[in-house]
């Protein structure tokens, strides 16, 4: 199956916006037909320059009729994923009746059949350039319009959209028109959803989940509603415009590509956020942060929308920042900034150092394909970290005043970087053009290193040296904290915190530390205000293994761990040193997110940076660290669950794992529930201690959506030639495989324990992956290509094959970026090994 992916260029969008202004869409969908297609009747009313010609995005299976201002338009006008119109009037009405196709890749109108009960669920995801898969539309963010939706569906279904429900009778749903929104923000859900409702501060609330998750939703609804209400209250304290879209509904949908999407009035999350097994506190905190993130979008992105995708940061950077901030300020999850320092910012730093790096706010995004590629750690986490730095400079009062002026000026319209900077500059009295140039318009990240010269037991001079990578010469101003930590009475405590302004000259002396008694640990970026790579002075670096286990402040520990992991990624510290630190410090770690992130990151680095000879010993040390933490964790705690997961992922003790499946020697308080059973089964599959029959038996006992996904991953992980061939064929050529099943099959395929078995597939990746890109598209294609990359096959030959593919003309841009970035990761791994 050839996937049609229409690309809209910025030039086309600008020309179209100069010709037309859209008033409204009336979309009437009939979902009662077959399992492949649905009927879509759309009425579009828009104004235009008389006599002009334009086009709409439109990808029908079959055209029933097209009329423009009462006159028929030939079906041949629809081709190449566009509907061409000529001879426009000042006021226009376009009516299109067509048959459209459901998708299985998370784009357009996605159709999912729940294996637990056979129920069908639909959700609409028009993101970036998929509007034409459901209706003919002017699919660009600055052509906002009101949407009125009508739906015919089975009478026992529930249907919801952005708009308020007006009537539901006998399988017919009618919804009120929305406020003016961009096409990519129009959504609906349909199916036999389980629903919970509430109200807060006059705002109707609702939660939707598949019927198979009814028990889980009922158990977790109180927490979700509480977090939702708390975040709404905090946003209403911060913003002068109240939540502007009537009701606030949240749907948890199967096989959703994003973590969540900010559709106004009806936010859609991936339904993994309603887990059926035990959750750690980190996972609950993450859900709260995502709820806050998507709620922030109701203002940043929905009320005021970027004019074009070059200002994506106006959506994502602000939502990322406010997701952490509001969750910390309004909910019981007060440690979100530790998570940001440990996890989210590391994502931004990695993305910013790859070949695909780009500015937070690029001056030009040429088309929608390029826009999709910018949904990365730079637009999210780096932008949020930069905002955190900006607020430290401007002050919170001026920052919020500027945001409120921005909302008032552009409500239900579009805005640009210049618009926001103007509002912030006016509110703060500061010219932000210089700040924006170095932080938003220029790519890559600086490295900050401490230099400490000591006379006896006092500092003679302490300086911070700033450097920039080759090819990116920009140095930047930084506001940063430096903590002085001492070891006394069996604890490590901060004696003093100084704040400094680092200039862009490259070396900033810190006069406040001259003559001060030297600390046992000098922590640069204490408080995590700066967006930069952090390196310790030699004395502090040497003290970390001794002091880190005794440090009380979780944010300080996160900063140290993040800097340590980054130094290993860069090859400045050996992976063996990291593993030794994990064994020394992690068994006493109390912050679950640090446990989870350190074990995950360390395992990934061991798989790629350790050699075949040293890897088994390194994995054994990681398993020992997790086992010690497991023994020290309270029964039933999040740390116990995190430690158990880490142990399962690193151990080679198959007898112990089989014992846990049988209920033998399971630690008190640890529930070997459905998902932990699957994690154990997955590890046994990797180690050759479980075969296809064991996977099928597990699936027979867990015939659910999650069970189906775990089974796909386990089959791909089997240490068996036939299983590998079947998995590879499915990844490359099975268009019937849904987005999530394709991604998880790819995620299970490459295993560091199976390098000899997998050797033939290294060359096949570079030969076969272009074919995969012809049957998959968008974010699903990107995720599958990334998961299927032979990252554990660290060898010069892998890089040679990557170079050969990158030299091919006309290479799919999504695949090009995946290969470039993963090849750069392999360059680092080879450099570290060398």
Any idea which residues carry the catalytic annotation?
294
CB 751 within 8 A of CB 791: no
**669: Cα separation from own chain's centroid:** 32
Nearest to 5 by CA among 358, 262, 371, 306: 371
Nearest to 404 by CA among 327, 284, 474, 304: 304
The counts of H helices and E strands in the chain are 27, 29
182 phi-psi bin (left φ>0, alpha ψ -120 to 50, beta other): beta
Diameter over CA atoms, the chain: 91
CB 806 within 8 A of CB 820: yes
Q: Give the residues across from 705 on adjacent strands.
A: none
CB 581 within 8 A of CB 328: no
Residues 680, 684: Cα–Cα separation, whole Å: 6
Residues 416, 246: Cα–Cα separation, whole Å: 26
- Alpha-carbon Rg for the chain, nearest whole angstrom, is 27
> What phi and psi values does residue 447 have, to the nearest 5 degrees?
-110, 135
Residues 228, 203: Cα–Cα separation, whole Å: 11
Q: Give the residues across from 65 on adjacent strands.
A: 97
Residue 489, CA atoms < 13 Å, CB-side half-sphere? 1
Intra-chain end-to-end CA distance of the chain, in Å:
44
The H or E element spanning position 266 is strand 266-270
CB 677 within 8 A of CB 663: no
The H or E element spanning position 514 is none
Q: Rounded to 5 degrees, what angle do the CA atoms 255, 258, 259 make?
A: 95
Residues 131, 121: Cα–Cα separation, whole Å: 19
**482: Cα separation from own chain's centroid:** 31
Structure tokens at 1: 């199956």
Angle at which helix 396-410 crosses helix 417-428, to 10 degrees, equals: 130
**548: Cα separation from own chain's centroid:** 30
**b/e map of 469-488 (b: 16 or more CB within 10 Å)?**
beeeebebbbbbbbbbbbbe
Q: Cα torsion for 156, 162, 168, 171, to the nearest 10°?
A: -40
CB 79 within 8 A of CB 63: no
Q: Report how far apart, in Å, the C-alpha atoms of 458 and of each of 197, 461, 479, 516 are.
A: 63, 9, 24, 5
Residue 592, CA atoms < 13 Å, CB-side half-sphere? 21
Residues 812, 806: Cα–Cα separation, whole Å: 10
Q: H helices within 548-591, ranges in order? A: 554-569, 575-585
Structure tokens at 448: 């900050």
Q: H helices within 139-213, ranges in order? A: none
Beta strands in 318-375 (DSSP E): none
Q: H helices within 101-255, ranges in order? A: 214-238
> What phi and psi values does residue 22 have, to the nearest 5 degrees?
-90, 135
């Amino acid at each position: 199956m050839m996937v049609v992916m229409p690309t809209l260029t910025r030039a086309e969008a600008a020309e179209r916006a100069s010709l037309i202004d859209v008033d409204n869409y009336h979309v009437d969908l009939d979902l009662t037909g077959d399992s492949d297609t649905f009927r879509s009747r759309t009425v579009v009313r828009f104004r235009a320059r008389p006599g002009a010609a334009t086009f709409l995005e439109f990808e029908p299976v079959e055209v029933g009729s097209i009329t423009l201002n009462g006159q028929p338009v030939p079906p041949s006008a629809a081709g190449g994923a566009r509907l061409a119109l000529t001879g426009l009037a000042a006021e226009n009405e376009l009516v299109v009746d067509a048959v459209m196709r459901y998708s299985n890749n998370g784009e357009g109108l996605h159709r999912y059949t729940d294996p637990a009960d056979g129920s069908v669920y639909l959700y609409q995801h028009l993101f970036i350039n998929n509007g034409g898969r459901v209706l003919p539309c002017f699919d660009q963010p600055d052509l906002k319009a009101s949407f009125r939706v009508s739906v015919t569906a089975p009478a026992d279904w529930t249907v919801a959209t952005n708009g308020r429900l007006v009537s539901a009778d006998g399988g017919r749903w009618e919804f009120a028109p929305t406020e003016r929104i961009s096409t990519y923000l129009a959504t609906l859900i349909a199916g036999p959803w389980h629903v919970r409702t509430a109200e807060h501060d006059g705002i109707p609330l609702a939660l939707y989940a598949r019927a198979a998750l009814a028990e889980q939703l009922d158990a977790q609804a109180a927490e979700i509603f509480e977090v939702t209400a708390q975040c709404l209250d905090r946003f209403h304290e911060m913003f002068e415009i109240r939540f502007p879209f009537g009701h606030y509904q949240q749907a948890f949908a199967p096989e959703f590509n994003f973590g969540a999407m900010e559709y106004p009035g009806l936010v859609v999350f991936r339904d993994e956020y309603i887990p059926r097994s035990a959750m750690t506190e980190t996972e609950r905190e993450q859900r709260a942060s995502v709820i806050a993130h998507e709620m922030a979008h109701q203002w940043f992105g929905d009320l005021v929308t970027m004019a074009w995708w070059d200002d994506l940061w106006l959506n994502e950077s602000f939502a990322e920042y406010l997701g952490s901030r509001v969750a910390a300020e309004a909910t019981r999850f007060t440690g979100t900034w530790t998570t940001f320092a440990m996890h989210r910012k590391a994502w931004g730093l990695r993305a910013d150092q790859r070949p695909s790096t780009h500015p937070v706010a690029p001056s030009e995004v040429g088309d929608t394909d390029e826009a999709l590629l910018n949904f990365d750690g730079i637009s999210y986490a780096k932008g949020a970290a930069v905002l955190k730095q900006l607020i430290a400079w401007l002050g919170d009062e001026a920052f919020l005043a500027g945001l409120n002026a921005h909302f008032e000026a552009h409500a239900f319209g579009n805005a640009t970087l210049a618009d926001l900077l103007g509002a912030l500059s006016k509110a703060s009295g500061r010219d932000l053009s210089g700040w924006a140039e170095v932080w938003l318009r220029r790519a890559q990240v600086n490295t900050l290193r401490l230099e400490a010269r000591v006379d006896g037991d006092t500092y003679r001079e302490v300086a911070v040296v700033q450097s920039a990578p080759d090819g990116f010469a920009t140095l930047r101003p930084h506001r940063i904290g430096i903590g002085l930590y001492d070891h006394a009475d069996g604890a490590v405590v901060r004696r003093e915190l100084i704040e400094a302004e680092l200039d862009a000259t490259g070396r900033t002396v810190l006069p406040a530390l001259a003559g001060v008694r030297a600390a046992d640990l000098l922590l640069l970026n204490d408080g995590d205000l700066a967006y930069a790579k952090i390196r310790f002075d030699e004395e502090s670096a040497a003290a970390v293994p001794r002091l880190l286990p005794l440090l009380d402040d979780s944010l300080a520990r996160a900063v140290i761990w993040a800097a340590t992991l980054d130094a290993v990624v860069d090859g400045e510290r050996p992976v063996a040193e990291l593993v030794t630190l994990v064994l020394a410090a992690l068994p006493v770690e109390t912050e679950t997110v640090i446990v989870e992130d350190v074990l995950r990151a360390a395992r990934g680095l061991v798989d790629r940076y350790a050699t075949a000879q040293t890897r088994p010993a390194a994995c054994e040390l990681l398993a020992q660290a997790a086992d010690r933490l497991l023994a020290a964790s309270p029964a039933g705690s999040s740390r116990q669950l995190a430690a158990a997961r880490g142990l399962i992922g690193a151990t080679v003790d198959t007898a112990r794992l089989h014992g846990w499946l049988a209920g033998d020697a399971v630690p008190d308080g640890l529930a070997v529930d459905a998902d932990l059973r699957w994690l154990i089964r997955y590890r046994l599959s990797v180690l050759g201690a479980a075969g296809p029959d064991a996977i099928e038996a597990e699936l027979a006992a867990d015939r659910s959506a999650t069970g189906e996904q775990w089974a796909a991953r386990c089959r791909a992980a089997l240490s068996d030639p036939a299983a590998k061939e079947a998995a590879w064929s499915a990844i490359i050529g099975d268009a019937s495989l849904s987005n999530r099943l394709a991604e998880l099959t790819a995620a299970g395929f490459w295993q560091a324990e199976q390098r000899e078995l997998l050797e033939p597939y290294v060359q096949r990746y570079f030969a076969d992956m272009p074919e995969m890109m012809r049957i998959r598209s968008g974010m699903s294609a990107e995720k599958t290509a990334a998961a299927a990359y032979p990252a554990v096959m660290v060898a010069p030959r892998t890089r040679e094959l990557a170079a050969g593919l990158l030299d091919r003309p006309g290479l799919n841009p999504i695949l090009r970026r995946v290969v470039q970035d993963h090849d750069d990761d392999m360059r680092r791994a080879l450099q570290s090994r060398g």
